[in-house]
């Protein structure tokens, strides 16, 4: 991967002019070591120590005998996962990358189990989010792997600089929204493909128009990822469905993750269960 997109987190890390320039040019930055082992352990305990979150699992993608499961919620809450979504090194960094106040659009856990995880086709997040009333692409996602992400267990793939192409037409592909194939062939000639191999606790911050995908998980290793999406406060969507309109985000210091002892009270998160229907074009 391009060295210019890679940075290392420390308590003194800041989004300076160089970091912002890289994000604007490439459509993403990779920030190594955002969550340390203790923080990852607390997140894992929150997700698997009880059924407070996992009881909300639903099938996201089904492709033959392969599947990817998802848990999604609309508001961060006050548990450990909420502290991650609200902390300065995550929310504050995205705020600076997007150039203004942000709010929590949603968080999701994407679960690709060993040997069975289904692929995610080439798409832009804004391909979905535009249909939800967001007029401007002032949005982004933070993808944090909870397991090492390699090519064989479905690491993220991106087309560097593809966010500059604007929003592409999307259509149905195995129940997902995929980019127009003819335009994709042209874009792939211009925008380099990068495999974003990451360690657990790294984070990639990417623009909502960055074209990305991931393969089937054919390995014997789990690939779970924690993703939080943010929207600019100035980009308040025209509808409150399926994701929330502007709701002030009460950010917390980075230390709040380790000091949080709430692993089971998920009050206020508004989980989106099996009845959740993604808006898809008819053809």
pLDDT at 120: 85
pLDDT at 225: 97
Q: How many angstroms separate the CA atoms of 184 and 200, rounded?
A: 30
Q: What is the mean pLDDT of residues 214-220?
A: 92
- Point out the least confidently predicted range of 99-103, 201-205, 275-279: 275-279
Residue of 150, 227, 231, 232 whose CA lies nearest to 195: 150
pLDDT at 271: 95
Q: What are the phi and psi torsion angles at 265 (to 5°)?
A: -90, 105
Any bridge partners for residue 121, and if so which? none
pLDDT at 277: 53
Summarised one tens digit per residue, pLDDT across range 82-137 is 999 999 999 999 999 999 999 999 999 999 999 888 888 899 999 999 999 999 99
Above 70 in pLDDT, residue 220? yes
Peptide bond into 237 cis (omega under 30): no
Q: What's the pTM?
A: 0.94
Domains of the chain: 3-272 (2.60.120.620)
Q: How many angstroms separate the CA atoms of 255 and 158, rounded?
A: 31
Per the CB < 8 A criterion, the answer to whether 159 and 188 are in contact is yes
Report the Cα 165 to chain-centroid distance in Å.
20
Please tell me the total number of residues recorded for the chain in this structure: 283
Q: How many angstroms separate the CA atoms of 136 and 237, rounded?
A: 9
Summarised one tens digit per residue, pLDDT across range 136-148 is 999 999 999 999 9
Summarised one tens digit per residue, pLDDT across range 52-73 is 999 999 876 666 678 888 899 9
Q: What is the mean pLDDT of residues 150-154?
A: 95
pLDDT at 283: 45
Q: How many angstroms separate the CA atoms of 171 and 189, rounded?
A: 21
Above 80 in pLDDT, residue 79? yes
Average pLDDT of the chain, as a whole number: 92
Residue of 34, 48, 46, 45 whose CA lies nearest to 77: 46
Tokens representing residue 180 in the block? 């127009």
pLDDT at 3: 47
Above 90 in pLDDT, residue 177? no
pLDDT at 279: 55
Q: 53 by DSSP, 3-state: which?
A: coil
Please give the helix or strand (H or E) that residue 256 lies within, else none.
helix 256-259
pLDDT at 275: 61
Q: 126 by DSSP, 3-state: which?
A: helix
Q: What is the mean pLDDT of residues 16-39?
A: 97
């Amino acid at each position: 991967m391009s060295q210019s997109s890679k940075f290392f987190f420390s308590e003194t890390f800041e989004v300076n002019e160089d970091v912002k320039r890289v994000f604007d040019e490439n459509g993403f930055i990779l920030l190594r070591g955002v969550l340390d082992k203790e923080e990852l352990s607390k997140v894992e305990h929150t997700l698997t120590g009880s059924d407070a979150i996992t009881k909300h699992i639903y099938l996201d993608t089904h492709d033959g005998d392969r599947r990817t499961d998802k848990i999604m919620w609309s508001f961060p809450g006050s548990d450990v996962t909420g502290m991650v979504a609200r902390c300065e090194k995550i929310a504050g960094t995205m705020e600076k990358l997007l150039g203004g106040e942000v709010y929590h659009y949603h968080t999701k856990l994407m679960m690709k189990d060993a040997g069975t995880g289904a692929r995610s086709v080439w798409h832009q997040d804004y391909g979905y989010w535009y249909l939800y009333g967001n007029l401007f692409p002032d949005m982004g996602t933070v993808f944090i792997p909870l397991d090492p992400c390699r090519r064989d267990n479905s690491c993220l793939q991106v087309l560097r600089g593809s966010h500059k192409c604007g929003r592409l037409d999307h259509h149905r592909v195995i129940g997902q929204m995929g980019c127009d194939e003819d335009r994709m062939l042209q874009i792939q000639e211009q925008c380099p493909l990068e495999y974003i191999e990451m360690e657990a606790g790294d984070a990639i911050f990417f623009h909502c128009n960055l074209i990305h995908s991931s393969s089937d998980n054919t390995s014997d290793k789990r690939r779970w990822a924690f993703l939080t999406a943010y929207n600019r406060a100035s980009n308040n969507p025209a509808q409150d469905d399926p994701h929330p309109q502007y709701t002030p985000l009460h950010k917390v210091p980075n230390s709040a993750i380790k000091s949080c002892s709430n692993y089971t009270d998920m009050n206020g998160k508004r989980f989106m269960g099996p009845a959740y229907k993604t808006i898809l074009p008819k053809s």
